[in-house]
Amino acid sequence: MSTMTTKNVAAPTTAKPIHDYTPYLTAYSRAREESAISALAPVAELPGMISFAGGAPNPGTFEITNLDLTFKNGTTSKLGEKTTQAALQYGATPGMPDLLAFFEQLQLRVHGAPKYANPHLKRRILIGNGSQDLLSKAMAALVKPGDSVLVEARCYPGMLSILDPMVKTMSVKLVAVPIDEDGIDPTALAAILDAWPARKRKPHVLYTVPTSQNPTGATTPLARRRAVYAIAQRHDFLVLEDDPYVYLQYTLPADAVAEQQQQKKQPLVDAPPHPASAPSRNEADLALGARFAATLVPSYMSLDTDGRVLRFDSLSKVVGGGIRIGFLTGPAPIYERLEFDVQATSLQPTSLAQIIVLALVRDVWHSMPDLFLAHTARLSAFYRSRRDAMLRAMSAARLVEDGLVEMANVPTAGMFLWFKLTTVKDALALARGPAMDRKVLLLPGIHCVPSVKPGEKDAYVRATYALATEEMMVEGMKRLRECIDLAMRNEWLQQRQQEEEERAGRVSQLTIAVARGAQTVVENLMGTLLCGLADSRDADEDEDVKRPLK
């Protein structure tokens, strides 16, 4: 893979603030208006208001009256009837205010305050039913018929599922930007846009996964992020920063978490939910969270002076995939468009999921971002150990040592390995055939290619180390080696069969040609003989004419 240089793509010294987002938005999104019922919700909460307007069910009819939660550290949370009713009732479209407040604190802690050059521009947060839903809504708001969308040359399959109908029905084009072991290549991105045809509308959206890029596992360093942002300013496009693995960066020394665990005081089992009591009860966790925060690669959002970054965060990897809580952070004008979209589609993020997360925030992390960050530091240490176990399993099977597999990189975040099968041309055939037969599930790299050509083959594979035990990893890599050996034989046999078919075809063509040639020769000979006979007959007739009568 190539090594990127940042020549000619250095970050500009001045901001280029966006004052009008209308040119970026689709007609569909601009036509959205606030739901009439949602507009009345704040008024319904006014003291003394008697509301006949909404359609909320009577909470007295709810079958669930209380929820008890038990967290991993032993803390329990009894929600009570009032909170349980709130968990089962309709809520605000942007999300529950207390949960929004925590996410605001978290974004300030990790990414800093907004740096918008436009003093009137506000940064807002919108909670959604998972970041995937928010990504889908963002693309619907920003991608117009005939647009070109910048995506990484290996792209998250979930995003390709969002964009594929647009490609098929709206004539949208996906522009694949080259990536390498350090993620997106700014030099290649600049070259694509600098050479863009003058009469063709330039892309105004870049979708990128900067931390543990999905599927390659590459993390884009700060210098590249600055370079990409500078290109966004020069060519005037928005950056959609999808960052579900941001808190799974392996940036702390391997023994840092273990050391913290040894020094850590009594866990916060009996601590009251008042933030002021937390520092004295768990100083080690607070110190770990602060240390972890200081090591994270700065985000695109932290660099944003113009209001051109939409950031997507997710709790799927750090709380639970089924909780379906994600949140978008970005400029208020785009936030408003997406809020209206939520009002018209899913109405709101799920109240029950929000209440569970809010209980976790209050009773375990005491509404303190650094305690949340300490939790994610331990998760990153766990996944780092899983990565190392997977690499050991690959080594035990001698996949790299014997030249059967070529590692694209050693990931420094996330939960994926990305590698090339050097002796097999078609990873999809291997995954669907020998690997499936031997019960080894892999994601073929062809599913991550933005625009697949008919008959295109790809030798790359994504493998996750999140779920398998070390024993399963060892056995799985052993089976993968067997699959590669079998696939090599199958490809060899297919090649031989193809060569035999081609040879048979050539022989058949030669036989036909010979037969046709022989027929031509015979026809020519017959023609010559017949001509000779005719000439001889004519000569005899002439002789008869000349012979005198007796």
What is the helix (H) or strand (E) element at residue 359, kind and residue range?
Answer: helix 351-363
DSSP state of 435: I
Rounded Cα distance between 479 and 397, Å, is 9
Q: What share of the chain is helix, strand, coil (3-state, %, to 5)?
A: 50, 10, 40
CA distance 307 to 512: 72
Number of CB atoms found within 10 A of residue 499's CB: 10
Give the alpha-carbon dihedral of 161, 162, 167, 172, to 10 degrees: -150
Q: Which two tokens stand for residue 463?
A: 């493998």
Tokens, residue 99: 């949960």
Residue whose C-alpha is closest to residue 355's, from 43, 37, 68:
68
Tell me the sheet residues that pair with 330.
Answer: 124
Token pair 């050539």 is at which residue? 506
Would you kindly state where each structural domain of the chain is located, as residue ranges?
81-255+292-374
Cis peptide before 215 (omega within 30 of 0): yes
Q: Tokens 């695109």, residue?
A: 300
DSSP 434: I
Looking at residue 281, its pLDDT comes to: 53
Ordered per-residue pLDDT tens for the chain, 550 residues: 433 334 444 444 588 999 999 999 999 999 999 888 888 888 888 899 888 888 889 999 999 999 999 999 899 999 999 999 999 999 999 999 999 999 999 999 999 999 999 999 999 999 999 999 999 999 999 999 999 999 999 999 999 999 999 999 999 999 999 999 999 999 999 999 999 999 999 999 999 999 999 999 999 999 999 999 999 999 999 999 999 999 999 999 877 776 665 555 444 333 444 444 444 458 899 999 999 999 999 999 999 999 999 999 999 999 999 999 999 999 999 999 999 999 999 999 999 999 999 999 999 999 999 999 999 999 999 999 999 999 999 999 999 999 999 999 999 999 999 999 999 999 999 999 999 999 999 999 999 999 998 889 999 999 999 999 999 999 999 999 999 988 888 766 676 777 677 777 776 776 776 666 666 666 666 666 666 666 666 655 555 555 554 4
Starting at the edge strand that comes first in sequence, how are the strands of the sheet with 205-208 ordered?
123-128, 326-331, 309-314, 238-242, 205-208, 148-152, 173-177
Backbone φ/ψ region at 201: left (φ over 0), alpha (ψ -120 to 50), beta: beta
Separation of alpha carbons 25 and 147, rounded Å: 12
Sign of CA dihedral 516, 517, 518, 523: positive
For 381, the token pair is 């240490």
pLDDT at 534: 61
Q: What is the DSSP string of 118-185?
A: STT--EEEEEESSHHHHHHHHHHHHPPTT-EEEEESS--HHHHHHHHHHHHHH--EEEEEPEETTEE-
3-state DSSP of 161-179: HHHHHHHHHHCCEEEEECE
Domain 81-255+292-374 architecture: 3-Layer(aba) Sandwich (3.40)
d(CA 214, CA 245): 9
- Could you give the dihedral angle defined by the CA atoms of residues 165, 168, 169 and 171, in that order, rounded to the nearest 10 degrees? 120
Q: For residue 416, which phi and psi values (nearest 5 degrees)?
A: -130, 145
- The total of other beta-carbon atoms located within 10 Å of residue 184's CB is 26
pLDDT at 500: 73
Q: Which residue stretches of 364-469 are H helix?
A: 369-396, 427-430, 436-437
User: What single-letter amino acid sits at 462?
Assistant: R
Both tokens of residue 40?
Answer: 């009345």
DSSP string, 486-504: HHHHHHHHHHHHHHHHHHH
CB proximity list for 31: less than 8 A, separation 6 or greater: none
In angstroms, the CA 453 to CA 131 distance is 29
Q: What is the CA radius of gyration of the chain?
A: 34
Which amino acid, one-letter code, is at 239? V
Indicate the helix (H) or strand (E) that contains 284.
Answer: helix 283-295
The DSSP secondary-structure symbol of 448 reads G
Burial bucket for residue 455 (CB in 10 Å: 0-12, 13-18, 19+): exposed
DSSP H or E segment with residue 536 = helix 470-546
Q: Annotate 83-110 with DSSP letters as a single string.
A: HHHHHHS---TT--HHHHHHHHHHHHHH
For residue 269, what pLDDT is reported?
Answer: 32
